[in-house]
Amino acid sequence: MFYREAGDFKTSYAEDNQTFPIKFDRYRYYAVLAVAFLVIPFIVNDYWLNAVLLPFLIYAIAAIGLNILTGYCGQVSLGTGGFMAVGAYACYKLMTAFPDISILIHVVLAGGITAAVGVLFGLPSLRIKGFYLAVATLAAQFFLVWLFNRVPWFYNYSASGQISAPERTVFGVPVTGAETSAWAVYLVCLVFLTASALIARNLTRGMAGRKWMAIRDMDIAAEIIGVDPLRAKLSAFAVSSFFIGVSGALFFAVYLGAVEVGEAFGINKSFLVLFMVIIGGLGSIFGSFAGAAFLVLLPVLLKNLLVGSLGWPTDVAAHLELIIVGALIVVFLVAEPHGLAQLWRVAKEKLRLWPFPH
C-alpha cells in the first residue's frame, strides 16, 4: 500500500534520479521539513531545546561528517572530538577577532579551517589503513586537545583556559550568549543541518561519492579503474572535517556557550559520534540522523522515565542508563550490523508488499 511505485510515472531523467523517487517517501520528507521549520519553532521551549533538539541537530551534523569519511570512504577515524575542537576554537577566534561579521559566516569559515586541518591529518591515510589509521587519527585527537590546552593564544589568554561565546546576532536576533530565544537557536542549527544533509546526500550520489565508495570497497581496484586515491581520500577527509568543524562550532557557540577543551571534546566525543554512525548505519545519511537521535534521546528518555516518573534515586538511574544503553548497542550490533538505516530499509521493503506479501 505504501511505497508503491505503481502509477508513479517519471518522464525525465531528473525526476528519475531525485533523492526520493517514490511519491509517498517524498511527501513524507516534505512533511518532516514542514514540521521542523514551521511547527517546532513555535512550540519549542528551553528544556526541549537544550536537552533534546540542539544536541540532536548538532550531533547529526557531526555524524554526517564522520559517515562520509568512515561510512562512504572507509577510513576509520577516532579524531572526531579533536576536529570538533578545531571548529569550536576556530569559531571562537573568528568571533572575537571580527565581531562585526555574521556568526553564520564564522561557522562556515570554522568548517573550512577544520577541513584544512583534517586534510593535514588525512595525509597518513595514503600509506596506512584500517586499525593503523584509527591509531593515527587517535593521535590527532590527543594532539589537538593538548594543543588547545597548552597554547594560551587559542583561548585568548583567559585565566581559566575556557572559551566562552560572546553575544552575536543573526538579523538582529541573538543566537549566541545568554539572551537567546529557543526558536532562533533552533532555526540556526536546523538550517545548518538541512544544508549539510542536502550537500552530503548529493555529494555521495555524485562522482565524488562514487569515488569514495570505490576506495572503500577495494582501493586497488578503484585505482585501476582510474580513481585517484590521493584526491579521493583527501577530499573525503576535507568534506568530513568540514561538517565536523561546523558541528563543533555550533556545539560551542550556540549550544554550550562556554567550553573546556578536555572535557567537551575529549576522546569520549570521538567514540560517541562513532557509535552514532555505527548504530545509525555506515554509508547512509538517514543513518546519521537515526544514530544521533538514538544516542541523544535514549539517555534523556531513560532519565525522565526512571527519575521523573518512577522516582528512583538519581545514581541508580545513572548507572542503569549506562547499562541499558551499552546493552542496546550490543544487541543492535548483533541483531542488525548495518544499523538503524538497514532496519528502515527492510521496513520499507515490507511496506511495499503490504498487505499482500504474496
Residues that bind another protein (CB under 8 A): 46-47, 49-52, 55, 149, 159-162, 164, 166-167, 177-179, 256-260, 262-264, 266, 290, 293-294, 297-298, 300-301, 303-305, 307-309, 313-315, 317-319, 340, 347
In angstroms, what is the minimal distance from the CB of 197 to another protein?
Answer: 15
Shortest Å, Cβ 340 to another protein: 7
355 upstream amide cis, omega within 30 of 0: yes
Please state the closest distance from residue 9 (CB atom) to another protein, in A. Answer: 28
Surface-to-core class of residue 222, CB atoms within 10 Å of its CB (0-12 exposed, 13-18 middle, 19+ buried): buried
CB of 304 to another protein, least distance (A): 4
DSSP 82: H
Cβ closer to another protein: 211 or 269?
Answer: 269
Residue closer to another protein, measured from CB, 83 or 155:
155
- Taking residue 139's Cβ as centre, other Cβ atoms within 10 Å add up to 15
CA atoms within 13 Å, Cβ hemisphere of 97: 12
Query: Is 67 or 164 the residue whose CB approaches another protein more closely?
Result: 164
Residue number with CB closer to another protein (239 or 261): 261
**Closest CB to another protein among residues 11, 309:** 309
Query: How far, in Å, CA of 95 to CA of 102, rounded?
Result: 9
Of 316, 294, 295, the residue nearest 307 (C-alpha): 316
Cell numbers describing residue 273: 559520534
Distance set, CA 288 to CA 114, 281, 293, 328, 336 (Å):
20, 7, 8, 17, 16
Rounded distance between C-alpha atoms, residue 45 and residue 334, angstroms:
38
Confirm if 92 and 165 have CB atoms less than 8 A apart. yes
Q: Which amino acid is at 205?
A: R
Q: Closest CB to another protein among 89 and 237?
A: 89
Q: Which of 107, 111, 20, 119 is nearest to 69 (CA)?
A: 119
CB of 205 to another protein, least distance (A): 24
Distance (Å, whole) CA 300 – CA 112: 33
Residue 3 or 242: which CB sits closer to another protein? 3
Q: How far is the CB of 206 from another protein (least distance, A)?
A: 28
CB of 268 to another protein, least distance (A): 9
| Beta carbon of residue 264, minimum distance to another protein (angstroms, whole number) | 7
What one-letter code names the amino acid at 348?
K
50 or 102: whose CB is closer to another protein? 50
CA 37, CA 110: separation in Å to the nearest integer? 25
Q: How far apart are CA 33 and CA 177, in angstroms?
A: 27
Q: At closest approach, how far in Å is the CB of 301 from another protein?
A: 5
Helix (H, G, I), strand (E, B) or coil at 258: strand
Closest CA to 65 of 299, 269, 258, 225: 269
User: Cα 24–333–283 angle (5° rounding)?
Assistant: 50
Between 202 and 304, name the residue whose CB sits nearer to another protein: 304
Task: For the CB of residue 165, give the shortest distance to another protein in the complex, in Å.
Answer: 9
Nearer to another protein, 78 or 222 (CB): 78
Beta-bridge mates of residue 170? 173
